[in-house]
């Protein structure tokens, strides 16, 4: 009689080996039905997968291994041998990544005596919750106006949902600029974005008036995806507050001040010199120039010679030859002759509100000489020198020459 079974190569016994003799179950962060309800795991936290293998055959399994596309390569650890009618556990531990990761898992074990391989499959996985908030900002400073003071700065905050779940009640603030709560305008809501869908952005703006200087804007954003996740041991983890920040340095410059108009003083460099022969400026309150007579020797000036004689005793005679009394025959209010000094204007000759006649040109010129400065005198001397005729110039040159010749002749004698 032959033996029903024999000891073959290896430690496994032949017999009772076939399909269905290896069974597999998988739990992910403590959840056994991950194929139907994959647990939500926060991105970056631990995912723990436990693969339970049951060998119901009558042969030991060698080179036991688990193939799981949802686990990083080399992360699954298994014992080398699974004895007959026993069970073992393989484990994998790795960080969660964003997205849904549910895949078929395959477990294998070899029976060398029978040159066969037992297999088992199951589906398992997790969903990586990628709650992520991004924030950038841009500052635009208005050009300062004249008159001093500061300028307005407009800060635009760009809030972005970089995760895969909607974000709720996203608040924007700026402690660096000391903005009041709710100061940024987020589409009609004071400093708050109600719901921000995945892969979308929202804009908030704030305008502040600042004095000249250097400033730092420190934008801050906060929100939540309101997702409760599972920890490595199956514990429930509440949603954290998601935050993001940014910083920008900008400068508010001093506003330019408009220069005040300057009028150069008479005789100073850059002041306009009077042009010879040009009409004088009009006297205030009149339409006529202060001096209508051109300077002697000026182009277009009329030569004028005042000649004549006169005598007077201060008294006169009437029609009968009798001496007239002082003031006799004068109109009422008239000033008798001799009562007014020469060159003065009698008070009665000027009607109320009228402008007294201009003084003679000689007096005006003498007054101007007294008031002119050093540069004015130099210009006047130059103009007077130009007024000398050719004959006068030759005369001034020949007289010294004649004197010198006379002296030289007397020395030779």
92-131 per-position pLDDT tens digit: 999 999 999 999 999 999 999 999 999 999 999 999 999 9
pLDDT tens for 237-288 read: 999 999 999 999 999 988 776 666 676 655 555 555 555 554 444 444 444 4
pLDDT value at residue 357: 54
pLDDT value at residue 184: 93
pLDDT value at residue 151: 87
DSSP strand pairing (213-217 vs 151-161): unpaired
Read out DSSP for 299-348? TTPPP----------S-EE-TTSPEEPTTTTPPTTPPPTTSS-TTPPPGG
Radius of gyration of the chain measured on its C-alpha atoms: 58
pLDDT value at residue 147: 52
CA pair distance 383, 380, nearest whole angstrom = 5
Tokens in use for 43? 């991105």
Residue among 96, 85, 116 at smallest CA distance from 10:
116
Residues of the chain with pLDDT under 50: 1-14, 278-335, 340, 343-345, 348-350, 362-363, 366-367
DSSP strand pairing (22-28 vs 116-129): unpaired
CA atoms within 13 A on the CB side of 67: 9
Helix and strand element counts for the chain (H, E): 3, 24
pLDDT value at residue 79: 95
CA pair distance 85, 234, nearest whole angstrom = 29
Tokens in use for 413? 């004698």
Domains detected in the chain:
22-129 (2.60.40.10), 133-252 (2.60.40)
| This prediction's pTM | 0.55
pLDDT value at residue 286: 44
pLDDT value at residue 329: 46
């Amino acid at each position: 009689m032959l033996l029903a079974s024999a000891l073959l190569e290896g430690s496994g016994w032949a017999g009772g080996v076939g399909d269905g003799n290896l069974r597999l179950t998988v739990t992910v962060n403590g959840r056994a039905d991950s194929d139907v309800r994959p647990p939500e795991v926060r991105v970056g936290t631990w995912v723990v997968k436990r693969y339970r293998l049951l060998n119901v055959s009558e042969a030991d399994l060698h080179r036991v291994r688990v193939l799981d596309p949802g686990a990083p390569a080399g992360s699954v650890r298994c014992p080398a041998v699974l004895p007959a009618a026993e069970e073992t556990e393989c484990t994998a531990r790795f960080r969660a990544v964003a997205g849904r990761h549910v895949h078929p898992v395959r477990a294998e074990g070899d029976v060398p005596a029978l040159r066969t391989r037992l297999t088992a499959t199951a589906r398992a996985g997790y969903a990586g919750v990628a709650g992520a908030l991004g924030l950038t900002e841009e500052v635009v400073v208005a050009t300062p106006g004249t008159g001093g003071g500061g300028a307005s700065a407009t800060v635009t905050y760009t809030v972005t949902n970089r995760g895969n779940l909607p974000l709720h009640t996203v608040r924007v603030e700026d402690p660096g600029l000391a903005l009041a709560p709710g100061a940024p305008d987020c589409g009609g809501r004071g400093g708050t974005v109600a719901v921000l869908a995945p892969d979308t952005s929202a804009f908030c703006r704030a305008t502040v008036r600042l004095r000249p200087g250097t400033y730092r804007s420190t934008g801050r954003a906060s929100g939540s995806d309101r997702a409760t996740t599972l920890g490595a041991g199956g514990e429930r983890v509440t949603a954290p507050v998601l935050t993001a920040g940014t910083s920008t340095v900008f400068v508010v410059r001093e506003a330019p001040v408009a220069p005040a108009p300057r009028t150069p003083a008479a005789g100073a460099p850059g002041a306009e010199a009077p042009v010879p022969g040009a009409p004088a400026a009009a006297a205030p309150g009149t339409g006529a120039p202060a001096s209508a007579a051109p300077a002697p020797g000026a182009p277009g000036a009329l030569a004028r010679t005042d000649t004549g004689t006169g005598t007077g005793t201060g008294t006169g005679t009437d029609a009968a030859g009798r001496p007239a009394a002082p003031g006799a025959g004068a109109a009422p209010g008239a000033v008798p002759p001799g009562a007014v000094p020469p060159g003065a204007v009698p008070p009665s000759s000027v009607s109320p509100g009228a402008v007294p006649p201009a003084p003679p040109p000689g007096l005006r010129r003498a007054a101007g000489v007294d008031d002119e400065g050093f540069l004015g005198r130099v210009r006047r001397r130059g103009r007077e020198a130009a007024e000398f005729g050719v004959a006068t110039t030759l005369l001034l040159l020949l007289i010294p020459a004649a004197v010198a010749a006379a002296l030289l002749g007397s020395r030779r004698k």
